[in-house]
Amino acid sequence: MHLLTEPQGILIVDDNPTNLEVLSEALGQVGFKIAVAIDGESALEQVIYHKPELILLDVMMPGIDGFETCQRLKTNPETHDIPVIFMTALSDTTNKVKGLSLGAIDYITKPFQYEEVLARVRIHLKVQNLARTLQKQNILLKEEVDLREQTEVKLLEANNALEVLNQELETRVYERTEKLSQTLNDLQQTQMKLIQQEKMSALGQLVAGIAHEINNPVNFIHGNIVHASEYTQDLLKLVRLYRQHYPQPNIEILAELDHIDVDFLAEDLPKLIGSMELGTDRIRDIVLSLRIFSRLDEAEVKDVDLHTGLDSTLLILNSRLKGDGIRPAINIVKDYADLPKIRCYPGQLNQVFMNILSNAIDALESKAQEDKNWQPEIRIQTEIGEHGKINVHLIDNGPGIPIELREKIFDPFFTTKPVGKGTGLGMSISHEIIVEKHHGTLTCMPTDAEGIQFTVSIPIERPDLVE
Ligand SMILES: Nc1ncnc2c1ncn2[C@@H]1O[C@H](COP(=O)(O)OP(=O)(O)OP(=O)(O)O)[C@@H](O)[C@H]1O
Ligand SMILES: [Mg+2]
C-alpha cells in the first residue's frame, strides 16, 4: 500500500491565527500537506474543491461553530467520510462527548501537546488509509464475487446447453444405432433368403435336369416295349408254326432248339417284357415326381393336391429313408385324408416339407446310432381342420427338442448341428413361407411319447392368389 507516502492533506479550522500557525508548522514540518480555514463556512466551501484526508476542527468559532460544521460535513454524502478531530479545552468533557456523538473520531486538547497531536493525526490517517484500502479491497472482492457469480450463471447456462446437446446426441446415436441394427437385420434376412433360394434353386435345377435327361430315353424305351412285345409274339408264333408243320427239322436246327429251350423262352419272354414295362412305368413315375418336386416347369401359383407334393418329397429323400447295413430303414406311415386341391406356391410348400422331413431324418439317424434295435418312424397325417384350413402333421419318434430350444428353432441361423452340416435356416425359411406367403401357421409341439410334431396349417381358399 502506498497511501502513507502520499501527501497527507490536512485541513485545520480555527479562528485563532496563533493556533493555526503553530499547528500548521508542526504538522508541515513532518511532511503533511496543510490547508487552513478560519471559520466553519469557509471550511465547508473549501472541502468541496479540495477534499482533505483529515479535518482538525475547533469548537468555538464565530459564525457556525465546530459542532454545526461537523454536522453539515456528516450530512453531506460528499464529505461525510472525512474524519474529523475536534480541538477542545482539556477540561471540557461535555464538548468532547458531544463532538464524538456528532461523528468526530477523536479530540485533541488545548493547549496542544505536539507529540500527542502528531501521534493522533498519524494514527487516524493510518486508520483512515486502512479503512480506504479495506473499502477498495471490498469493492474488488465484490467485483470478483459478481464476476464469479456471472461466470457461474454462464457456466450453468453452458452446462444446461451442453446437457441438452448431449441428450440430443444420445437420441441421435440411439436412433442411428436402431436404424443400423435394423439394416443389419434386413441384410441378414436378405442374405439368408438368398442362400436358401440359391440352395433350393440349385437343387430344383439339378432335379429338373436329371428328370429331363432321363425322360427322353425312358420314353423311348417305354414306347418301343409295345413294339418289342408285338414283334417277339410274332416271332414266337412263327416258331410255333414251323414246329407244327416241320416236326422233324434237320439235326442242326434240332440241336439249337434244344440249346435255347424254346418252350421256356416262349413262356419267359412275355413275362420279361412285362416286367421291363413295369420298370419303365416306375422310372416314368419317378421322373414325374422329380418334376413335381422341382416345379420348374410350372407357374408359381397353382391349385394342387398336397399329397403329390408330400410323395414327391419322400421320393427325393428315399435314399435316406431306405437304410443301409448301418442305418435302419425309417418306417413311413401315411395317414392321408381326402383333401381338396388348394391354391398355393407348390414349389415352396415342397421346400417346407423337404426341410421338416430332412430335419426329422437327421434327428432319427442320431437316435438310431445310440440304439441299434430301435425302429425310427415318420408319420404324415393330413386332415381338413377348423376355419377352412388344411393341416399337415409331420411326426417323428426321434429325440425331440428340449423346451428351451423349441422357442428358438424358427430363429434364423439357429442350429444344433455341427459346423458345415446345418446352416440353421431351414426352419426360419419354412416359417416365412408358411406364414408370409400362405397366411398359415407352422408350429412345433412335443408328442405324447418322445419325438416332435410339426404342423403346417394353411387356408384352402386363397382368392387373392392368382394362377
Ligand atoms: N424333428 C426334429 N427333431 C429334433 N430337432 C429338430 C427337429 N427339427 C429341427 N430340429 C432342431 O432345430 C434346429 C434348426 O433347424 P433348421 O432346419 O432351421 O436348421 P438346421 O437343420 O440345423 O440347418 P439347415 O439350415 O441346413 O436346415 C436344428 O438344428 C435341430 O436342432
Ligand atoms: Mg434343417
427 Cβ inside 6 Å of ligand 1: yes
432 Cβ inside 6 Å of ligand 1: no
Specify burial of residue 369 (Cβ count, 10 A radius: 0-12, 13-18, 19+). Answer: exposed
448 CA to middle of ligand 1, Å? 20
414 Cβ inside 6 Å of ligand 1: yes
Query: Rounded to an integer, what distance in angstroms lies between the CA atom of residue 284 and that of residue 219?
Result: 8
406 CA to middle of ligand 1, Å? 10
Ligand 1 site-directed mutation target among 193, 198, 393, 427, most atoms within 8 Å of CB: 427
33 CA to middle of ligand 1, Å? 111
Indicate which ligand has the atom closest to the C-alpha of 199.
1
Residue 373 confidence (pLDDT): 83
163 CA to middle of ligand 2, Å? 51
Other beta carbons within 10 angstroms of residue 63's beta carbon come to 12
390 CA to middle of ligand 1, Å? 24
Residue 8 confidence (pLDDT): 59
Residue with cell 403329390: 308
Indicate which ligand has the atom closest to the C-alpha of 428.
1
* pLDDT block averages, 10 residues each, the chain of length 467: 51 93 91 93 92 93 93 92 87 85 90 89 90 90 94 94 95 95 88 76 79 86 92 92 90 89 89 90 83 66 91 89 86 96 89 94 90 91 94 95 92 85 85 92 91 95 80
Q: CATH 3.30.565.10 in the chain, residues? A: 299-467
Indicate which ligand has the atom closest to the C-alpha of 413.
1
- Residue with the smallest CA separation from ligand 1 atom 9 is 359
- Residue with the smallest CA separation from ligand 1 atom 26 is 422
Indicate which ligand has the atom closest to the C-alpha of 415.
1
| Residues in the chain, overall count | 467
425 CA to middle of ligand 2, Å? 7
349 Cβ inside 6 Å of ligand 1: no
Other beta carbons within 10 angstroms of residue 372's beta carbon come to 9
**CATH superfamily, domain at 299-467:** Histidine kinase-like ATPase, C-terminal domain (3.30.565.10)
427 CA to middle of ligand 2, Å? 6
412 Cβ inside 6 Å of ligand 1: no
- Residue with the smallest CA separation from ligand 1 atom 28 is 415
Look at residues 325, 391, 403, 406 and name the one whose alpha carbon lies nearest to residue 359. 406
Ion ligand 2: residues, CB within 5 A, are 359, 426
46 Cβ inside 6 Å of ligand 1: no
CATH number belonging to domain 3-112: 3.40.50.2300
For the CA of 360, the nearest atom of ligand 1: 1
Q: Which amino acid is at 52?
A: P
Q: CATH 3.40.50.2300 in the chain, residues? A: 3-112
Ligand 1 site-directed mutation target among 409, 431, 432, 442, most atoms within 8 Å of CB: 409
Non-local (6+) Cβ contacts of 176 within 8 A are: none
Q: How far is CA 195 from CA 97, 355, 417, in A?
A: 111, 14, 18
Q: Contact at 8 Å (CB) between 52 and 24?
A: no
- Beta-ladder partners of 304: 342
416 Cβ inside 6 Å of ligand 1: yes
359 CA to middle of ligand 2, Å? 5
Indicate which ligand has the atom closest to the C-alpha of 196.
1
For the CA of 427, the nearest atom of ligand 1: 18
Residue 262 confidence (pLDDT): 87
Other beta carbons within 10 angstroms of residue 378's beta carbon come to 24
128 CA to middle of ligand 1, Å? 99
Question: Does the pTM exceed 0.75?
Answer: no
- Residue with the smallest CA separation from ligand 1 atom 19 is 424
